Amino acid sequence: MNRTKVIAAIMAIAVTGFVTTNAVAKDRTTGRNTGPIVYVESQGLFYDSIVLADLPSNGRFQELKPGEGPSGLATEFGPGNTGYLGGRWWIDTNMDGYMDDEDVYFLCPLLGPGRGTL
What predicted TM-score, i.e. pTM, was given to this entire model? 0.76
Instruction: Give the C-alpha separation, 40 to 97, whole Å.
Output: 20
- The residue ranges of every structural domain in the chain are 3-111
pLDDT of 63-106, one tens digit each? 999 999 999 999 999 999 999 999 999 999 999 999 999 999 99
What does R_g of the chain's alpha carbons equal in angstroms?
13
